[in-house]
Amino acid sequence: MRGRRGFTLFELMLVIGVLSLAIAAITQVLVAGLRVSRSQMEQADMQANVRLTGLMLPLELREIGYDSNITTGAITSDIEVIGPTYLQFRAMRGLGVTCGTPTLNSFRIRKPAMGFRAPLLTDGFMLYVESDPNTWLDDQWVPLTVTDINYNSTCGADEAIELTTATPVMAPGVNMALSQYFVGGPVRYYERMAVVLYTETDGQPYLGARSLSLSEPGFRPVAGPLDPGIGLRFQYYNRAGVLLDPTATQPREVRAVDIQVVGLSRQPISLAGTVPIAKGVVATRTRVALRNTLRH
């Protein structure tokens, strides 16, 4: 080992200093990169939430319709309750076409039914009754009380779903006659749903959904977190495009719903790589024309 000399203190300190600077710089870059990466993931998650809300709600709402009872003149709307952050409605789940020979207590629809899914016993049902085939002025959707569903029925050689029903009622005290009904008519089934801006157990506000048909006890989160103040806003318009006051409006007047969604990131984000101090915000606004609000 003789003849070999070590580094001087100055040399060591110089090297350590240079290395420290290099490591600090690299660390800075890495930390900034990690922040950017994390922020981008947060941002993507937030955008996905808002996008999901912006797609799901119009999909649920645009099939909403209404119908009037020919005898009583009463209007039945698929929107049940409206509010600035709350909406309760009949979400259409499918459409079937009747087949076979019906009785007043049994209607069969061809398989497969069209739409989201097959009918459930918890669904609401409506039967299209023509009455006089020479005119559509007396046509109406009649509520159908379904007491049983047989998914393995047939229409001749074809598969069908049989709905066991109470006798359809055209108006209070007026039962439907079979002569008023024509095979091949449609049956619609729906799930009563409510959507709202609500606070989940984690303390964050979410778009919540609840199936009233399934008697769900509370709301479940669908998308979020959303802004606690303006995260979800519904505005309602009538057929003339006039903005309606939801506290003074009958749901049957609604022809279009404006949906505003403001999403928040779960954590503060910084796309510049600096120390994040604020949560990210992204907003979307969609107006949904209710496609089935025509009388005929």
Q: How many residues form the binding site for other proteins (CB under 8 A)?
A: 52
Which of residues 186, 238, 249, 258 is near other proteins by CB under 8 A?
A: 186
User: Are the beta carbons of 97 and 185 closer than 8 angstroms?
Assistant: yes
63 binds other proteins (CB under 8 A): yes
**Between residues 17 and 33, which has the closer beta carbon with respect to other proteins?**
33
Pairing of strands 106-110, 86-103: antiparallel
**How far is Cα 252 from Cα 232, in angstroms, rounded to an integer?**
22
Q: Which two tokens stand for residue 15?
A: 């090297």
Length of the chain: 296
Find the binding residues for other proteins in span 126-185 (CB under 8 A).
Answer: 126, 128, 130, 133-137, 139, 141, 156-158, 182-185
State the nearest-atom distance from the C-beta of 188 to other proteins, in Å.
Answer: 6
**How far is Cα 228 from Cα 211, in angstroms, rounded to an integer?**
23
Q: Which residue has the tokens 């949906």?
A: 259
**Between residues 97 and 222, which has the closer beta carbon with respect to other proteins?**
97
295 binds other proteins (CB under 8 A): yes
State the nearest-atom distance from the C-beta of 228 to other proteins, in Å.
Answer: 25
Find the binding residues for other proteins in span 26-55 (CB under 8 A).
Answer: 26, 29-30, 33-34, 36-37, 40-41, 44, 47-48, 51, 55
Give the contacts of 204 (CB within 8 A, at least 6 positions apart).
Answer: 224, 225, 264, 266
DSSP letters for 72-118? T--EEESEEEE-SSEEEEEEEEEEEEEEEEEETTEEEEESSPEESS-
**Between residues 27 and 103, which has the closer beta carbon with respect to other proteins?**
27
115 binds other proteins (CB under 8 A): yes
114 binds other proteins (CB under 8 A): yes
Cβ-count burial 27-59 (b if 16+ within 10 Å, e if not): eeeeeeeebbeebeebbebbeebbebbbebbee
CA terminus-to-terminus distance, the chain:
103
80 binds other proteins (CB under 8 A): no
State the nearest-atom distance from the C-beta of 291 to other proteins, in Å.
Answer: 4
Stretch that binds other proteins, among 56-64, 193-201, 216-224, 235-243 (CB under 8 A): 56-64
**Between residues 37 and 250, which has the closer beta carbon with respect to other proteins?**
37
State the nearest-atom distance from the C-beta of 260 to other proteins, in Å.
Answer: 18
Q: CB atoms < 10 A from the CB of 173, how many?
A: 7
Q: What character string, x for contact with other proteins (CB under 8 A) and - otherwise, covers 265-294?
A: --------------------------xxxx
State the nearest-atom distance from the C-beta of 42 to other proteins, in Å.
Answer: 10
Task: Give the SS3 label for residue 58.
Answer: helix
Per DSSP, what are the bridge partners of residue 197? 207
User: Are the beta carbons of 95 and 118 closer than 8 angstroms?
Assistant: no
Chain residues that interact with other proteins, rule: CB under 8 A: 26, 29-30, 33-34, 36-37, 40-41, 44, 47-48, 51, 55, 59, 62-63, 65-67, 78, 92, 95, 97, 114-116, 126, 128, 130, 133-137, 139, 141, 156-158, 182-186, 188, 291-296
